[in-house]
Structure 1
Amino acid sequence: MQKSRIKLHSNVPVILANGIFPKHDMCLDILRNAKILICTDGSANQLNSLPIKPTYIIGDLDSIDKCKTFNSKIIHDKSQDNTDLEKAIEWIYSEGYRDVIILGATGLREDMSLINQFLIFKYFKKINITTVTDHFTISCIKGEKEIDSFENQLVSLIPENRAIVSSKGLKFELEKANISIDGKTISNKSKKNKFKITSSEKLLVFQSHK
């Protein structure tokens, strides 16, 4: 059994994507404490007025404000075959990192918000992605995993396709349930400070903030 691998305030790289700028205290705390902060192109514009500077700016640079000055390393990737967020993930992987936190991955465009969540599935075997929004922490599991939680935390489970899932520590327990993306496994709740999930296939776990 694997335990939750990522610690939100360790030396894990942080990507700020070009969605809605985060406002939740958890997100802002992650931004302030990031040792390595990577902006995907236009997201750097949102940081320019704050006392937070990106370490790197990655992308095709078609959205960055040319009138602003950034004291950051620029990684110019003009490929149109993937998104700027995917370019950032690929670069982080090439640098030897195997964990990453993503902020700003939702809002503004629903198509991009959805694709950004699919990237967690796509890179599951290569890199452990945790997306943190103003409402949820989103991670991906397969197999058995014990996850830190708190009483009455909202927990939603969304599989990539179909999956056989069991749980321990949730209000509405699952016992080898054959689940799909029909919405029947959203809005569950944690009973204590941990819960356990076993899944036959890749599964997104949404956990609400306090």
Structure 2
Amino acid sequence: MKRYKLPNINQQADTVILANGEFPKHPITSSILNNCKYLVCCDGAINNLVKTNKEPNAIVGDCDSLSEENRVKYASIIHRIREQETNDLTKAVHFCLKQEKRKITILGATGKREDHTIANISLLCEYMQEAEVEMITDYGIFNGIESDSIFDSQPKQQVSIMSIDRNAITSENLVYKIENQIFTNWWQATLNEAEGNEFEIKTSGRTIVYRAFL
């Protein structure tokens, strides 16, 4: 059974994708960004990254959000993908997969436009077919699962479960126990709470699990 750990301020991610949402400001997300081994920017995200001392290894996207100054400065590492069937985040994930990078942390994928936020969160359930991907925001951690999983937690940590497929879900060690229940809308299993240092979600369908930072 797969276990999902909690991120910490000393975490050194193998590969980070920085999306063009809210720029990471939380101590944990800032540390992950600054200490990652390999950084891929969705094209618009570089406009905020240049205000820091961190340099990207690659910039990926359709380049419609890239400033002319940064287009010139980073010309050697820009990977322009013109097709419009996927968003820039998915283009960045596919780029990482081509580089044989299959353990990916996504930052900056929420905030700003709400439709982009919802789409990016839901895409976790597609990315998990090919890679180990987590999305960390300044407020918590999103993981996509489709089988029984254990999550590290802290007592009283807020937990939300969002079912993509209508498959039965059972929980262990959450305050509001779920027993073989099918949810038909994303809100129905939100705002739960961890009882201790781990909890379990049992499912056979695509499911998104969110743990809020305390």
Q: Which interval holds the TM-score relative to the shorter structure?
A: over 0.9
> Could you tell me the TM-score, scaled by structure 1's length?
0.93
Match of 1:4 in 2: 4
Residues 137-148 of structure 1 aligned to structure 2 (within 5 Å)? 137-148=141-152
In structure 2, distance between residues paired with 1:82 and 1:166? 33
Match of 2:175 in 1: 171
Matched, 1:190 2:194: yes
Question: Structure 2 regions of 5+ residues with no counterpart?
Answer: none
Matched, 1:34 2:60: no
- Displacement of 1:138 in angstroms is 0.2
- Displacement of 1:180 in angstroms is 2.5
Q: Which amino acid aligns with 2:3?
A: K
In structure 2, distance between residues paired with 1:86 and 1:52? 22
More displaced stretch, 138-147 vs 64-73: 64-73
Match of 1:17 in 2: 19
> Could you tell me the TM-score, scaled by structure 2's length?
0.91
Residues 96-115 of structure 1 aligned to structure 2 (within 5 Å)? 96-115=100-119
In structure 2, distance between residues paired with 1:27 and 1:91? 22
More displaced stretch, 6-15 vs 113-122: 6-15
Once superposed, which parts of structure 1, at least 4 consecutive aligned residues long, lie more than 6 Å away? 5-8
Match of 1:48 in 2: 50
In structure 2, distance between residues paired with 1:55 and 1:109? 26
| Identity between Structure 1 and Structure 2 (%) | 31
Match of 2:155 in 1: 151
Q: Which amino acid aligns with 1:188?
A: N
How big is each residue's C-alpha offset from its partner over 1:89-134, in whole Å with a ceiling of 9 and x where there is no partner?
Answer: 1111122222211111111111111111121112221122211111
In structure 2, distance between residues paired with 1:25 and 1:165? 33
Please state whether the residue corresponding to 1:173 is helix, strand or coil.
Answer: coil
Question: Structure 1 regions of 5+ residues with no counterpart?
Answer: none
How many residue pairs were aligned? 210
Higher helix proportion (structure 1 or 2)? 2
In structure 1, distance between residues paired with 2:102 and 2:136? 17
The RMSD of aligned alpha carbons is 1.8
In structure 2, distance between residues paired with 1:178 and 1:159? 8
Please state whether the residue corresponding to 2:123 is helix, strand or coil.
Answer: helix
- Displacement of 1:14 in angstroms is 0.4
